[in-house]
Amino acid sequence: MIADIRCGRLDPEEIRQNFSELHPPLTELQAIQESARCLFCHDAPCTEACPTDIDIPGFIRKIASGNLTGAAKTILGENIMGNTCGNVCPVEELCEQVCVKNTAEEKPVVIGQLQRYATDHVLENWIQLFKRAPVSGKKIAVVGGGPAGLSCAHRLAMLGHNVTIYESRDEPGGLNEYGLAAYKMLDNRAAREVAYILDIGGINLETGKTLGEDFDLAQLRRQYDAVFIGLGHNSVKTLGIENENVDGVYNAVDFIELIRQEELSTLPVGRNVVVIGGGNTAIDIAVQIKKLGAETVTMVYRRGFDEMGATEFEQQVAQTNGVLIRTHAQPHRILSENDQLTAVEFEYTEKSANGQLAGTGETFVLPADQLFKAIGQALDAAPLDSDEKPEASGGRIKVDEFQHTSLPDVWAGGDCTAGKDLTVTAVQDGKIAALSINEYLNHG
Ligand SMILES: Cc1cc2nc3c(=O)[nH]c(=O)nc-3n(C[C@H](O)[C@H](O)[C@H](O)COP(=O)(O)OP(=O)(O)OC[C@H]3O[C@@H](n4cnc5c(N)ncnc54)[C@H](O)[C@@H]3O)c2cc1C
Ligand code: SF4
Q: Is 280 in the pocket of ligand 1 (CB under 6 A)?
A: yes
Q: Is 211 in the pocket of ligand 1 (CB under 6 A)?
A: yes
pLDDT mean for each 10 residues of the chain (444 residues): 87 94 93 96 95 98 97 98 96 95 88 98 97 97 98 98 98 96 90 98 98 97 98 93 95 96 95 97 97 98 95 95 97 96 97 89 97 94 93 95 98 96 97 98 86
In this structure, are residues 66 and 60 in contact, taking their beta carbons and an 8 Å threshold? no
The pLDDT of residue 1 is 54
The pLDDT of residue 23 is 87
The pLDDT of residue 186 is 85
Q: Is 115 in the pocket of ligand 2 (CB under 6 A)?
A: yes
Of 96, 11, 2, which Cα lies nearest the Cα of 56? 96
Of all atoms in ligand 2, which is nearest to the CA of residue 89?
2
Distances (CA, A) of 199 to 53, 274, 440: 24, 43, 26
In this structure, are residues 396 and 417 in contact, taking their beta carbons and an 8 Å threshold? yes
Q: Is 143 in the pocket of ligand 1 (CB under 6 A)?
A: yes
- The model carries a pTM of 0.96
Of all atoms in ligand 1, which is nearest to the CA of residue 173?
49
Q: Is 255 in the pocket of ligand 1 (CB under 6 A)?
A: no
| Ligand whose nearest atom lies closest to the CA of 91 | 2
Q: Is 18 in the pocket of ligand 2 (CB under 6 A)?
A: no
Of all atoms in ligand 2, which is nearest to the CA of residue 94?
3
Atom 14 of ligand 1 has which residue's CA nearest to it? Answer: 422
The pLDDT of residue 276 is 98
Ligand 1 centroid to 92 CA: how many Å? 21
In whole angstroms, what separates CA 48 from the centre of its chain? 21
Ligand 1 centroid to 232 CA: how many Å? 5
Residue whose CB lies within 8 A of the most ligand 1 atoms, among 423, 424, 432, for a mutation test: 423
Ligand 1 centroid to 81 CA: how many Å? 13
Q: Is 89 in the pocket of ligand 2 (CB under 6 A)?
A: yes
- CA–CA separation, 398 vs 416, rounded Å? 9
